[in-house]
């Protein structure tokens, strides 16, 4: 068994066992005095290491004990760098030994980014139990489907037991209701044993409103910029070095202590930094340096609505992040299939938009946006395809844009399969949202479990106002209601239903084809040709590879049958997959594409929303 290299970085703040006891170290420039209270009894004053940092070594103490910091002799607060909050956001922190877990993944050094086949999931609703342990029980299923990377929506400690995770207030503490630190490490270890990478969704643009005591320790927030959640994180004002370190350390913490393979950075357009070196550029440099020292392939994936190529440009000309979610791809595909034109879908609906997303990445490249009433974005045509994560569904788009309705509730099974083919055959990194691979019909709704009654009421009322302005024709689900959460759980009986099993088999076949054929997985935009006809409603995507493997996808993006013209060249194409087959009891397809395309054939007839994938060359 190959030994992992010595860890090149250690978390120096918070609590940790050392020789002689437990070392507590805290950044607290706003505190005049600081002490630590252990097990609700013994109080240990902390000494100043400098003007901003306090520390104390408490002898004869061990991991597993609970503690609180006492600020200025009056306020007891959890540790900002708490590794575990077993009693929730208002309770004490627990001392965790970061070296106690026995990892079995010494062989693991990660996957190439262009090989990622991602499934995004929410731990609390992915299974009936809603825990890290229960997620492990589904890993073989995910691997059988063809997934090789699991993306966890945020798991940092949030108020109550139900939340998407974006209201987390302890970024270092895996949520207690999910299984805490031991549960998460066990899940990551189990993923790696099965060849699955793990992506962690992290939130560096805000903290949640309840249990957020950071401001009592230091100037973590600034009113120089405002975000949808209030004051921004202080990345460029006075005392910003401690704030920057806090979030950079968090990224390195997940990479080292939890062996996480990639971080998805939430809504980076709400991260503000006008300093000489942007926080994302510094974060990227530090993260990649530690990953190299570990001998591992690890990535930073942004979520951004800026359509700004600087985010994924190399550090010399940009932030140096590895990839980003491409919302434009989703919007282009969704608007075509569903006819949605509300909100940001106003700017989409043409096949040309989807064609541009496949060819370039960003659809907005400086063009005018009717939704924004201004020009938006810049060109990403020169960036490689693996820097774009594409999807036909994700948590935001299902819950916020479609009132919790999945694509399975908006379009036919054939259109679902068409969406899957376009996504998986794109020269990008595809991502599924949990359940879409079997056409899940359970909704995914926005849910919370705030403990503060006034805050809970304000969140429910605010969500209702926002919801009615966007989707007034759909019933409102109160995020604080347990029923809203319960309805969002996946129904694991559905994959056994013939209608759902048919879609599941289709996804298995599609992902198998992507893995088997390098022309589908190489993410080479330069070896991808996309043609379309707006009036006729068709699109073709030709993929090639230096090995000589080739694939051709024919799509009818309209509801009426049409003839899709074939490219010239005389290649012998064999049908590899077609979305027209129907489950038992379903309607028979009107038109079936030919199994082989001979040189005399000029076009292929496809039903409405029909799609056929052909392979040629060394793929045969």
Phi then psi dihedrals of residue 576, to 5 deg? -105, -30
Q: Is 144 one of the catalytic residues?
A: no
Mark whether 303 is an active-site residue: yes
Q: Are 565 and 554 in contact (CB under 8 A)?
A: no
| pLDDT exceeds 60 at position 5 | no
What is the reported pLDDT for 401?
Answer: 84
Per-residue pLDDT reduced to its tens digit, 201-228: 999 999 999 999 999 999 999 999 999 9
Span 385-396, average pLDDT: 98
Find the distance separating the first CA and the last CA of the chain, reported in whole Å.
38
pLDDT score at 581: 65
Q: In the CATH hierarchy, which top-level class contains the domain 529-617? A: mainly beta
Q: What is the mean pLDDT of residues 512-519?
A: 97
Q: Where are the domains of the chain?
A: 529-617
C-alpha span between 453 and 451 (Å, rounded):
6
Contact 399, 361 (CB under 8 A): no
- Stretch 176-188: mean pLDDT, rounded? 98
CA distance 557 to 555: 6
Measure CA 92 to chain center: 30
Q: Give the percent of the chain with pLDDT over 70.
A: 96
pLDDT in tens, 534-543: 999 999 999 9
pLDDT of residue 4: 46
Mean pLDDT of 313-338: 97
Q: What is the C-alpha to C-alpha distance for residues 460 and 447, in angstroms, rounded to an integer?
A: 9
Q: What is the pLDDT of residues 489-513, one digit of tens each?
A: 999 999 999 999 999 999 999 999 9
Q: CA 605 to CA 475: how far, in whole Å?
A: 40
- In this predicted structure, what is the pLDDT of residue 464? 80
pTM exceeds 0.75? yes
Q: What is the pLDDT of residues 234-293, one digit of tens each?
A: 999 999 999 999 999 999 999 999 999 999 999 999 999 999 999 999 999 999 999 999
Select from 247, 137, 130, 136 the least CA-distant residue to 198.
136
Is residue 137 scored above 50 in pLDDT? yes
The pLDDT mean for the chain works out to 94
Mean pLDDT, rounded, for 377-401: 96
Look up tokens 């930073």; give the residue.
300
Q: Summarize the confidence of residues 406-410 as an average pLDDT.
A: 96
pLDDT for the residue 586:
62
What are the Cα distances from residue 593, in Å, to 581, 584, 611?
11, 20, 9
Percent of the chain with pLDDT over 90: 89
Q: Single out the residue of 359, 298, 279, 283 nearest to residue 532, CA to CA.
A: 359
**SS3 letters across 173-213:** EECHHHCHHHHHHHHHHHHHHCCCEEEEEECCCCCCCCCCC
pLDDT value of residue 582: 62
Instruction: Determine which one of 266, 478, 545, 607 is catalytic.
Output: 266
- Active-site residue, selected from the candidate residues 282, 303, 328, 545: 303
- pLDDT number for residue 469: 59
Q: What pLDDT sits at residue 569?
A: 73
Tell me the pLDDT band of 2, cut-offs 50, 70 and 90: very low
**Beta-sheet pairing, 14-18 with 21-27:** antiparallel
Whether 3 has a pLDDT exceeding 50, the answer reads: no
pLDDT of residue 1: 34
| Res 585: pLDDT | 60
């Amino acid at each position: 068994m190959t030994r992992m290299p010595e860890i090149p970085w250690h978390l120096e703040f918070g609590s940790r066992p050392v020789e002689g006891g437990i070392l507590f170290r805290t950044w607290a420039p706003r505190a005049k005095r600081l002490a630590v209270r252990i097990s609700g009894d013994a109080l240990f004053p902390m000494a100043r290491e400098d003007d901003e940092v306090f520390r104390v070594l408490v002898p004869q103490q061990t991991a597993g004990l609970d503690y609180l910091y006492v600020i200025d002799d009056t306020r007891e607060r959890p540790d900002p760098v708490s590794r575990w909050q077993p009693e929730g956001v208002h309770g004490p922190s627990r001392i965790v030994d970061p070296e106690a877990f026995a990892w079995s993944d010494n062989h693991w050094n990660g996957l190439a980014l262009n090989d990622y086949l991602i499934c995004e999931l929410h731990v609390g609703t992915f299974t009936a139990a809603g825990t890290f342990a229960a997620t492990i029980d589904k890993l073989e299923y995910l691997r059988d489907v063809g997934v090789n990377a699991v993306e966890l929506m945020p798991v940092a400690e949030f108020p109550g037991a139900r939340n998407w995770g974006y209201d987390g207030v302890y970024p270092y503490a895996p949520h207690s209701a999910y299984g805490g630190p031991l549960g998460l490490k066990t899940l990551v270890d189990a993923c790696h044993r099965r060849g699955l990478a793990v992506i962690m969704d992290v939130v560096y643009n805000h903290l949640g409103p309840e249990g957020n005591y950071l401001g009592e320790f230091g100037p973590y927030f600034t009113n120089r910029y405002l975000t949808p959640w209030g004051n921004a994180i202080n990345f460029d004002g006075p005392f910003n070095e401690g704030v920057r370190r806090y979030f950079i350390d968090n990224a390195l913490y997940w990479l080292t202590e939890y062996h996480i393979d990639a971080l998805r950075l939430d809504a980076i357009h709400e991260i503000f930094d006008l300093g000489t070196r942007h926080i994302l550029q510094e974060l990227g440099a530090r993260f990649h340096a530690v990953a190299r020292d570990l001998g591992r392939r690890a990535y930073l994936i942004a979520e951004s609505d800026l359509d700004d190529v600087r985010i994924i440009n190399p550090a010399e000309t940009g932030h140096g992040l590895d990839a980003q979610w491409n919302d434009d791809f989703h919007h282009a595909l969704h608007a075509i299939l569903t006819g949605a034109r509300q909100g940001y879908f106003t700017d989409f609906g043409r096949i040309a938009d989807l064609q541009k997303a496949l060819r370039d990445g960003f659809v907005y490249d400086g063009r005018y946006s009717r939704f924004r009433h201004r020009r938006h974005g810049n060109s990403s045509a020169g960036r490689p395809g693996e820097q774009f994560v594409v999807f036909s569904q994700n948590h935001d788009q299902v819950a916020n844009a479609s009132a919790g309705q999945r694509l399975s509730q908006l379009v036919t099974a054939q259109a679902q399969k068409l969406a899957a083919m376009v996504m998986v055959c794109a020269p990008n990194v595809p991502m599924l949202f949990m359940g879409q691979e079997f056409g899940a019909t359970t909704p995914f709704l926005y849910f919370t479990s705030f403990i503060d009654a006034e805050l809970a009421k304000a969140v429910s009322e605010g969500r209702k106002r926002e919801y009615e302005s966007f989707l007034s024709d759909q019933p409102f689900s109160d995020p604080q209601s347990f029923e809203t959460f319960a309805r969002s759980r996946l129904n694991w009986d559905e994959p056994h239903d013939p209608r759902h099993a048919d879609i599941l088999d289709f996804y298995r076949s599609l992902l198998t084809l992507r893995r088997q054929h390098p022309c589908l997985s190489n993410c080479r935009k330069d070896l991808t040709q996309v043609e379309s006809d707006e009036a006729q409603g068709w699109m073709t995507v030709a993929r090639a590879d230096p090995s000589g493997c080739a694939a051709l996808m024919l799509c009818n993006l309209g509801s009426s049958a049409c003839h899709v013209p074939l490219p010239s060249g005389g290649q012998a194409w064999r049908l590899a997959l077609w979305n027209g087959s129907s489950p038992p009891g379903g309607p028979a397809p009107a038109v079936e594409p030919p199994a082989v395309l001979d040189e005399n054939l000029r076009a292929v007839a496809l039903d409405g929303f029909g799609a056929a994938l052909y392979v040629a060359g060394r793929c045969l």
